[in-house]
A and B are shown apart, each in its own frame.
Chain A
Amino acid sequence: MSVLIDRNTRLIVQGITGQQGLFHTRQMIAYGTNVVGGVTPGKGGQWVEGKPVFDMVRTARETTGANATVIYVPAAGAADAILEAIDAGIELIVAITEGLPIADMMRVRRVLDQSNSRLVGPNCPGLLTPGQAKVGIMPGHIAMPGSVGVVSRSGTLTYEAIYALTQRGIGQSSCVGIGGDPINGTSFIDVLGLFEDDPETEKIVLIGEIGGTDEQKAAAFIAQRMTKPVVAFIAGRKAPEGRTMGHAGAIVESGVGTAAEKIARFQEVGVRVAETPDQIADLIAR
């Protein structure tokens, strides 16, 4: 068992003929991911790495029975790619693309909330279920199968945590990068709930950052719902204060989002907070 993806996931790649899409399609197939096809408008009928390319997600799904998609489409077209995947009824949508305009994501989120699809990202490294499948761009060789669930808002910092665990001989059940954008599809709470219900996950690592209130909501959720132990790490303790213009931002988010506040909330609910990425593995091993 694992969360979100496993070796049976039937994945299509949106943007499969682009440079990033092609590179990572090869990497995902090499890792064992069941890639069943790809989508690039105007290139339907071609084949990439032995997989059929379609013009639209709709036809890709009808033909291949895909239940997941990964998006490498450039930022200008990424919102459209996500909306197309929702429209085609794809259950799991993983958007790797960074730099999506926030207005696009507000509209996407509004449509997503009324659909049956789950979006992970955008601006995220994707998903990795060690030994089974990876969707996205995480380097597979740093992970090993085991029972620690990893959920993170950061990209490379996720690798850092996985690496530290693997170095200590501690394997992972699933690694989920939810992305660092202000508006995204899947939150910490969503993934914590999945890990809590996953029999293969025994402990959880949560990696957060300054800004926003997702970590504070996660702390409240942990207090109410979680029975499994959680170790957290928050990046940005020493970050300089943001230079915000105008008053509206201060009125909407007055005083929320500092590392100190997030760490305090976690500690209040019994989550152990690591000071350094290496310490994450120490605390999990204890």
Chain B
Amino acid sequence: MNLHEYQSKFRFEEFGIPVPHGKVAETPEQARLIAAEIGGPVVVKAQVLTGGRGKAGGVKLARSPEEAEQHARAILGMAIRGKIVRKVLVDPAARIKQEIYLGITNDRAARKPVLICSAEGGMDIEEVNRTKPGAIIREHIDPLLGLRGYQINALALGIELPYALWRPFGKIATGLYKCYVDSDATLCEINPLIITENDELMAVDGKMSIDDNALFRHPDLAALRDTSAEPPEEIQAREAGLSYVKLDGQIGCMVNGAGLAMATMDMTSLYGEADGIGPANFLDIGGGADAETVAAALRIILADPNVKVILLNIFGGITRADEVARGVIAAFTEHPTDIPKVIRLVGTNEDQGRALLQAAALPNMSTAMTLADAARMAVAAVKGA
């Protein structure tokens, strides 16, 4: 789960990291009032859960409250990479001497958190990584020992930070690591961490991602989730415990297990790609899904107007084929549809599952024994539809 800039920075501040004291506005008038309260130049920043805000015109400097209002009017309602901006952060503008990058994430290959730092922070940090990898300093953190003082020194030296700033830099790095651990974050990023003209360090932009698997122990963070820019079907899927990603094909796929769901997408593309046919979604109903989960999944697939065929591929392990069959029958009884259905049920209790489907005699249903057959049949059904 990703946090907005303002949520991340408010949280950073709780861990002793200096941030600008701005406020959030949902209307242009609010932006003007906040700017007047701050006094002096402000930055109006779109709060949207995607990158590329600056380049899309979502970050503007304003010299007066009136100008802040104008910028907020232009930015609120703007779409950045398909996400509508509903809030702006109005921050006091800072005078920047240097931009530093400071971030912590999980390095899965090293199986440890890694602290990354560069003297060349700002929007083009990934370009710096490509062209001047030596300008990026990394320190892996032992999860049992935590971030050690000598590692902070190594970073400060690596970015040639003036010695006078080592102590405040150490406080920021330590605070960021504590924030990362205490929040079960998978990313805590300050970009840029600036050196002001008064030679002070300040986090003027921040990003956090929280491990979804750990949200159960962070109800305060879970409550920060902004669903306003999420497609409704993804919200529904999450609430039903399903993993769903919308794609642009015609075959609505419902599969148990992420690997098999990906293989099912691959197969429909393999047979359909030449004719512009492919999967309409990735949907994993998970292990041990019951009839209710299956019904919820079918409702989400049927709500997609692009779906011309439904492909159900279930390999029962924990998930029992007869339970899935009951869910399928219940969902189609509740929402009868003539849409072609290709069903493949194998594994635990497959005979009972197939017998139930046979007895239900759903309209336009065909069954397949192998994944390849099921994918070919689904592609053929789209062509015939």
Question: Quick check: is A10 within 8 A (CB to CB) of the other chain?
Answer: no
Question: Quick check: is A107 within 8 A (CB to CB) of the other chain?
Answer: yes
Q: Is the CB of B211 within 8 A of A102?
A: yes
Closest partner residue, chain A, to B373 (CB atom): A278
Q: Is the CB of B266 within 8 A of A182?
A: no
Q: Top 3 A-B pairs ranked by shortest CB distance?
A: A154-B259, A156-B257, A157-B259
Q: When A154-B259, A251-B136 are in contact, do A98 and B106 touch as well, CB less than 8 Å?
A: no
Question: Quick check: is B305 within 8 A (CB to CB) of the other chain?
Answer: no
The interface of chain B, by Cβ under 8 A from chain A, is 2, 49-51, 101, 103-109, 111-114, 116, 125-126, 129-130, 136, 142-144, 181, 184, 186-187, 189, 191, 207, 209, 211, 213-214, 216-217, 245, 247, 255-260, 262-263, 265-267, 269-270, 278-279, 282, 287-288, 315-318, 346-348, 370-372
Complex CA gap A160/B314 in Å reads 10
Residue of B111, B278, B287, B316 touching A98 (CB-CB under 8 A): B287
Q: Is the CB of B278 within 8 A of A276?
A: no
Residue of B50, B107, B259, B282 touching A180 (CB-CB under 8 A): B259
User: Which residues of the partner chain A approach B348 to less than 8 Å between Cβ atoms?
Assistant: 139
What are 29 A-to-B residue pairs whose CB atoms are below 8 Å? A75-B216, A101-B217, A102-B211, A102-B213, A103-B143, A125-B317, A139-B348, A142-B346, A154-B260, A156-B255, A156-B259, A159-B315, A180-B259, A212-B108, A235-B260, A235-B266, A238-B265, A239-B262, A240-B245, A245-B50, A245-B51, A246-B105, A247-B125, A247-B129, A247-B191, A248-B103, A248-B105, A249-B187, A277-B371
Task: Tell me the smallest distance from the CB of B3 to a CB of chain A, in Å.
Answer: 9
User: Which residues of the partner chain B approach A154 to less than 8 Å between Cβ atoms?
Assistant: 257-260
Q: Is the CB of A138 within 8 A of B317?
A: yes
User: Which residues of the partner chain B approach A75 to less than 8 Å between Cβ atoms?
Assistant: 213, 216
Q: Is the CB of A250 within 8 A of B126?
A: yes
Within 8 A of B (CB), among A185-240: 207, 209-210, 212-213, 233, 235-240
Q: When A101-B211, A238-B278, A245-B2 are in contact, do A157 and B260 touch as well, CB less than 8 Å?
A: yes
User: Which residues of the partner chain A approach B315 to less than 8 Å between Cβ atoms?
Assistant: 156, 159-160, 163
Q: Is the CB of B247 within 8 A of A101?
A: no
User: Which residues of the partner chain A approach B270 to less than 8 Å between Cβ atoms?
Assistant: 275-276
Complex CA gap A104/B217 in Å reads 12
Task: Tell me the smallest distance from the CB of A261 to a CB of chain B, in Å.
Answer: 14
Residue of A182, A238, A245 touching B207 (CB-CB under 8 A): A245
Q: Is the CB of A249 within 8 A of B217?
A: no
Of A164, A246, A248, A253, chain B has the most CB atoms within 10 Å of the CB of: A248
Task: Tell me the smallest distance from the CB of A285 to a CB of chain B, in Å.
Answer: 16
Complex CA gap A276/B270 in Å reads 9
- Chain A 63-95 interface 0/1 with B at a Cβ cutoff of 8 Å (1 = within): 000000000000110000000000000000000
Closest partner residue, chain A, to B103 (CB atom): A248
Q: Is the CB of B114 within 8 A of A252?
A: yes
User: Which residues of the partner chain A approach B245 to less than 8 Å between Cβ atoms?
Assistant: 240
User: Which residues of the partner chain B approach A160 to less than 8 Å between Cβ atoms?
Assistant: 260, 263, 315, 371
